[in-house]
Chain A
């Protein structure tokens, strides 16, 4: 039995190692090579650090998972947040899962999803390209305020500002339809997300994600991550509906937006 398990594991390992093309690097790499890590962060024309690159954004299906460093120790639920968490229908029998409907994952589930993130950066914009559902999100960094009266949306609207060499990205105007993570931690339309990006060297970004959602949580909480550059990874198309049999064939029900997230 043990031999069979070991043989199976060996098979997976050899397949993974032998078959991965040289132009692609596995997700979740162990980190940058020491020699390369010594290279300083690249700079934009305005002298600020550039966050550009394809990044090994940490997969977090559960932001409280203690196995992944930087996790949240305890989520301080409000009564509404606790009720939403306790009542989460993991079997999706009463409402279709939005991601199963190929609707947007929103900011947190895209940042913490299993697919890579590419950042394009110039003096006035940071652009996040998420492979998940081939979504994009543009963050102006020229000091402009949030757009007045803009309707809420899945990813919300973001604006960026510099705090020294750290880029601070604030996101508001979120529709509140998404959950924080795959496991379903709650979030409302009052959520405001603050992310910080600090490129500590050529191959590394230190990233924080803070959720301030007074409807769901009594206090803000923060996830800390270190992202490694994945220079050999190329983002690929993700046309979500092309083969979404579970939805086409009725096993995933149509999503109905919740009416209690405002």
Chain B
């Protein structure tokens, strides 16, 4: 196993610095249920303690379901380059995160791939325990 690359280290650093564990991640989400969601943004609620992004996700049968995705604290996201309009209604994004414990259409976002291809940290508290 090779030592971690400088880039991987930078990634880890960014993750470590911004993990803003407001409440217990485990109370609401399940770190053993990773999920990747691709879809169109329908609403962004930029507020404390966590931003929420809603998106329409189409499954393999063509059925569209609206998912709610929790991100980080707005202030921490702002300091890491996010802006209130970084995600806009209609943007096609990919969210990598963890599903809710209750099996509902909710997830905690760890990374988001933006329409321009940038894959950015979304402020997940999964690492903040």
10 additional A-B residue pairs with CB within 8 Å, beyond A16-B80, A93-B27, A100-B23: A6-B8, A12-B119, A15-B81, A20-B81, A27-B17, A59-B16, A92-B24, A97-B24, A236-B78, A251-B27
Of B32-40, B47-55, B56-64, the one with at least 4 CB within 8 A of chain A: B47-55
Main secondary structure on A side of the interface with B? loop
Tell me which of A99, A233, A239 contacts B23 (CB under 8 A). Answer: A99
Please tell me if the beta carbons of A13 and B21 are within 8 angstroms of each other in the complex: no
A residues 74-110 near B (Cβ < 8 Å) are 90-93, 97, 99-100, 102
Please tell me if the beta carbons of A16 and B14 are within 8 angstroms of each other in the complex: yes
Is B87 an interface residue when CB atoms closer than 8 A count as contact? no
A48 to B14, CA, bound (A): 37
Tell me which of B46, B52, B74, B75 contacts A245 (CB under 8 A). Answer: B52
On chain A, the residues within 8 Å of B111 by CB distance are 8, 12
A114 touching B20 in the complex, CB below 8 Å, given contacts A13-B10, A18-B81: yes
A131 to B22, CA, bound (A): 12
Interface residues of A, CB < 8 Å — how many?
A: 50
A21 to B55, CA, bound (A): 28
Q: Which residues of A contact B (CB under 8 A)?
A: 5-16, 18-21, 24-28, 59, 61-62, 90-93, 97, 99-100, 102, 114-115, 131, 182-183, 233, 236, 238-246, 251-252
Is B95 an interface residue when CB atoms closer than 8 A count as contact? no
Please tell me if the beta carbons of A24 and B24 are within 8 angstroms of each other in the complex: no
Please tell me if the beta carbons of B128 and A243 are within 8 angstroms of each other in the complex: no
Shortest 8 CB-CB contacts between residues of A and residues of B: A19-B81, A243-B47, A100-B23, A92-B27, A9-B11, A9-B7, A28-B17, A114-B20
On chain A, the residues within 8 Å of B26 by CB distance are 90-92
- Closest Cβ of chain A to B112, distance in Å, is 10
Interface string of B60-97 (1 = CB under 8 A from A): 00000000101001111011111000000000000000
19 contacts between A and B (CB under 8 A): A9-B5, A9-B7, A9-B10, A9-B11, A12-B119, A13-B11, A16-B120, A26-B17, A28-B13, A28-B17, A61-B19, A90-B24, A100-B27, A114-B18, A115-B73, A236-B74, A239-B48, A244-B49, A251-B100
